[in-house]
Amino acid sequence: MKEYEKVFELVSDGKKEFSTAEYCDRNPLHLAKLIGRGARAKWLQEDIEGAISAYEEALMEAKDLQLETDLKDLKKIKVDKEKLDYINPEIGDQHREKGNNLFKEGKFVESLKEFDEALARNPKDHKTYCNKAAAFVKLMEFNQALVMAEKSIELDPNYTKAHIRKANIHHFLKEYHKAIETWDFILKLEPENAEAQKGKHDTQMKIAMSMHDGNDEERLKRAMADPEIQSIMCDPMVKIALQQMQTNPKEAQSYFNDNTLGPKLQKLIQAGVLKVG
Same fold, 4-86 and 158-210: yes
Express each pLDDT in 185-204 by its tens digit: 999 999 999 999 999 999 99
The predicted pLDDT at position 170 comes to 96
The predicted pLDDT at position 214 comes to 67
The predicted pLDDT at position 24 comes to 60
Q: pLDDT tier at 272 (50, 70, 90 boundaries)? A: confident
Q: Are 273 and 223 in contact (CB under 8 A)?
A: yes
Q: Are 187 and 197 in contact (CB under 8 A)?
A: yes
Distance CA 2, CA 4 (A): 5
Q: pLDDT tier at 180 (50, 70, 90 boundaries)? A: very high
Q: pLDDT tier at 210 (50, 70, 90 boundaries)? A: confident
The predicted pLDDT at position 276 comes to 74
Whether 208 shows a pLDDT value over 80: the answer reads yes
What is the 8-class DSSP label of residue 26? -
Whether 25 shows a pLDDT value over 70: the answer reads no
Which residues, in sequence order, are CB contacts of 120 under 8 Å at separation 6+? 83, 86, 92
Question: Domain 158-210 has what CATH class?
Answer: mainly alpha
Cα 101 to Cα 117, 152, 164, 210: the distances in Å are 15, 20, 21, 38
Select from 188, 209, 208, 183 the least CA-distant residue to 198.
Answer: 183
For the chain, give the mean pLDDT: 91
Fold observed for domain 4-86: 1.25.40
What is the 8-class DSSP label of residue 213? S
Cα 93 to Cα 8, 107, 125: the distances in Å are 45, 19, 9
Hey, how many other C-beta atoms are within 10 angstroms of the C-beta on 4? 15
Q: Which amino acid is at 161?
A: K
The predicted pLDDT at position 67 comes to 95
Q: Which amino acid is at 249?
A: P
Domain 87-140 coded CATH 1.25.40.10: yes
Express each pLDDT in 55-100 by its tens digit: 999 999 999 999 999 999 999 999 999 888 899 999 999 999 999 9
Express each pLDDT in 236-258 by its tens digit: 988 988 888 887 777 767 888 88
The predicted pLDDT at position 141 comes to 96
Most distant CA pair in the chain: distance in Å?
98
Whether 136 shows a pLDDT value over 70: the answer reads yes
Cα 28 to Cα 22, 53, 58, 178: the distances in Å are 13, 18, 9, 63
Cα 220 to Cα 202, 209, 210, 230: the distances in Å are 20, 15, 12, 12
If DSSP codes are grouped into helix, strand and coil, which group holds residue 158? coil
Select from 276, 162, 179 the least CA-distant residue to 219.
Answer: 179
Distance CA 123, CA 159 (A): 16
Q: Which amino acid is at 244?
A: Q
Range of lowest pLDDT (114-123, 184-193, 263-272): 263-272
Domain map of the chain by residue range?
4-86, 87-140, 158-210, 217-271
